[in-house]
């Protein structure tokens, strides 16, 4: 029997495992996907890694992410915005504007992608701690702690531990069979907390060179027409290629066109924005998070893009004596962000310690 089971090997769950292991606990992390990182995902080319999930951190105001990046020896680069940016209205007409997309404090990117940060956190764990392709389905409170039933490629498995940390978006927590069932009010609180950016999709366009810079453009754009709504330069310093990334303005239903068509529409929009004479992207990669069952739920199809007013969620007794929530959405600070994922992990480890002593 482990001392602690963690469900979810995103940044938050890995950070919980790292902290708990460091204080001597025997930890098991159950991860549904065949990879760690959750919403952190990078597309790798021979020149580097480009983020298809989170890309920006703000170390000036986010102490935990700043420290984790420092400890991992990661190189940070400022989001480039030099040059003019382009505005596209509803009708598709474009306008060139000389004042760019000023970010204060500046958004920083991680060379190697945010995956490098996640891998650094995971590398501190013994190889047997993280169990990939282990989908948690059922949690039963027992006299001694919890019993967790998981689906694995080799069949169902039951694990036991005195404590459990759920490091996953609250709406996915709501999909677990928790026995005895949580009070209705708690189920409603879980359902009301959208997975941050779970309804979003990102496009990455790779070019042989930064064609937009030929005409003094920054690669930044805002569009009311779509498919992309906000675009930024994603190029890496010294790389033998260039890149743009964009967030989709189109909601999930509009994005549900065949993938090849969506890629063509993105390529066409980029040519409209950055120069019809310029070479088109050599490749467009699309990551639609709404299609990921371990990130998004049906309810996430309908959320707007405004930042929800997240609050920490704690289960009442008897559940709360054994089960603690982590994951960015329950953080007391920077909920939704990578910093929040680390803050929630910190609070969860403190919570499991006080639950153990209580």
Ligand X SMILES: Cc1cc2nc3c(=O)[nH]c(=O)nc-3n(C[C@H](O)[C@H](O)[C@H](O)COP(=O)(O)OP(=O)(O)OC[C@H]3O[C@@H](n4cnc5c(N)ncnc54)[C@H](O)[C@@H]3O)c2cc1C
Does residue number 10 form part of the binding site for ligand X (CB under 6 A)? yes
Does residue number 193 form part of the binding site for ligand X (CB under 6 A)? no
Does residue number 74 form part of the binding site for ligand X (CB under 6 A)? no
Smallest separation, CB 202 to ligand X (Å) = 5
Point out which span in 48-56, 231-239, 250-258, 269-277 binds ligand X (CB under 6 A).
48-56
Does residue number 202 form part of the binding site for ligand X (CB under 6 A)? yes
- The length of the chain in residues reads 358
Structure tokens at 116: 């490098």
Point out which span in 55-63, 97-105, 205-213, 267-275 binds ligand X (CB under 6 A).
55-63
Residues 96, 84 contacting (CB under 8 angstroms): yes
Query: Look-up: residue for tokens 């764990």?
Result: 125
Rg (CA), the chain: 21
Distances from the Cα of 216 to the Cαs of 73, 232, 243, in angstroms?
34, 14, 16
Does residue number 227 form part of the binding site for ligand X (CB under 6 A)? no
**Quick one: 10 or 210, whose CB is closer to ligand X?**
10
Smallest separation, CB 208 to ligand X (Å) = 26
Does residue number 246 form part of the binding site for ligand X (CB under 6 A)? no
Does residue number 27 form part of the binding site for ligand X (CB under 6 A)? no
Residues 11, 342 contacting (CB under 8 angstroms): yes
Smallest separation, CB 46 to ligand X (Å) = 24
Indicate the SS3 state at residue 339: helix
Query: Could you tell me how many residues of this chain bind ligand X (CB under 6 A)?
Result: 39
Out of 164, 168, 217, 236, the residue judged to bind ligand X by CB under 6 A: 168
Out of 4, 338, 343, 348, the residue judged to bind ligand X by CB under 6 A: 338
**Dmax of the chain from CA atoms?**
70
Smallest separation, CB 114 to ligand X (Å) = 8
**Quick one: 14 or 221, whose CB is closer to ligand X?**
14
Residues from 263 through 302 that contact ligand X (CB under 6 A)? 289, 294-295
Give CA–CA dist 125/9, Å, rounded: 12
Whether the CA torsion 129, 130, 134, 135 is positive or negative: it is: positive
Smallest separation, CB 258 to ligand X (Å) = 21
Smallest separation, CB 207 to ligand X (Å) = 21
Residues 145, 161 contacting (CB under 8 angstroms): yes
- 296 CB contacts (<8 Å, ≥6 apart)? 195, 198, 199, 289, 290
Reference 7, options 294, 288, 291; nearest CA is: 294
Out of 196, 207, 274, 319, the residue judged to bind ligand X by CB under 6 A: 196
Structure tokens at 276: 């019809």
51 strand-pairing partners: 42
Does residue number 341 form part of the binding site for ligand X (CB under 6 A)? yes
Does residue number 200 form part of the binding site for ligand X (CB under 6 A)? yes
**Quick one: 229 or 280, whose CB is closer to ligand X?**
229
Out of 162, 220, 227, 327, the residue judged to bind ligand X by CB under 6 A: 327
Give CA–CA dist 82/79, Å, rounded: 9
**Quick one: 31 or 241, whose CB is closer to ligand X?**
31
Secondary structure string (H, E, C) spanning 278-312: CCCCCEEEEEEHHHCCCCCCHHHHHCCCCCCCCCC
Give CA–CA dist 269/276, Å, rounded: 10
Q: Give me the residues that bind ligand X (CB under 6 A), please.
A: 7-13, 30-33, 38-40, 53-57, 135-136, 167-169, 172, 196-197, 200, 202, 289, 294-295, 327-328, 336-338, 340-341
């Amino acid at each position: 029997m482990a001392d602690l089971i963690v469900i979810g090997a995103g940044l938050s769950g890995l950070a919980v495992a790292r902290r708990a292991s460091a204080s001597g606990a025997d930890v098991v992390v159950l991860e549904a996907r065949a990879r760690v990182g959750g919403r952190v995902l990078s597309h790798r080319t021979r020149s580097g890694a480009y983020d298809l999930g989170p890309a920006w951190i703000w170390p000036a105001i986010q102490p935990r992410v700043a420290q984790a990046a420092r400890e991992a020896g990661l190189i940070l680069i400022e989001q480039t915005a030099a040059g003019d940016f382009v505005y596209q209205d509803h009708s598709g007409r474009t306008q060139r504007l000389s004042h760019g997309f000023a970010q204060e404090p500046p958004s920083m990117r991680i060379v190697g992608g945010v995956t490098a940060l996640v891998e650094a956190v995971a590398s501190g764990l013994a190889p047997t701690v993280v169990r990939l392709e282990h989908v948690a389905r059922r949690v039963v409170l027992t006299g001694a702690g919890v019993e967790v039933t998981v689906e694995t490629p080799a069949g169902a498995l039951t694990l036991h531990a005195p404590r459990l940390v759920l490091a996953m978006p609250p709406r996915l927590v709501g999909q677990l069979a928790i026995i005895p069932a949580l009070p209705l009010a708690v189920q409603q609180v879980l359902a009301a907390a959208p997975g941050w950016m779970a309804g979003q999709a990102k496009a990455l366009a790779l070019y042989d060179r930064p064609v937009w810079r030929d005409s003094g453009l920054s690669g930044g754009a805002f569009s009311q027409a779509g498919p992309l709504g906000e675009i930024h330069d994603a190029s890496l310093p010294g790389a033998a290629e260039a890149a743009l990334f964009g967030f989709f303005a189109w909601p999930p239903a509009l994005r549900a066109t065949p993938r090849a068509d969506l890629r063509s529409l993105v390529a066409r929009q980029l040519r409209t924005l950055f120069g019809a004479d310029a070479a088109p992207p050599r490749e467009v990669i699309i990551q639609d998070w709404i299609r990921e069952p371990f990130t998004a739920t049906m309810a996430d199809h309908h959320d707007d893009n405004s930042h929800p007013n997240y609050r920490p969620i704690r289960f009442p007794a008897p559940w709360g004596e054994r089960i603690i929530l982590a994951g960015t959405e329950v953080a007391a600070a920077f909920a939704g962000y990578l910093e929040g994922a680390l803050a929630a992990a910190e609070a969860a480890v403190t919570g499991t310690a006080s639950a153990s002593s209580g």
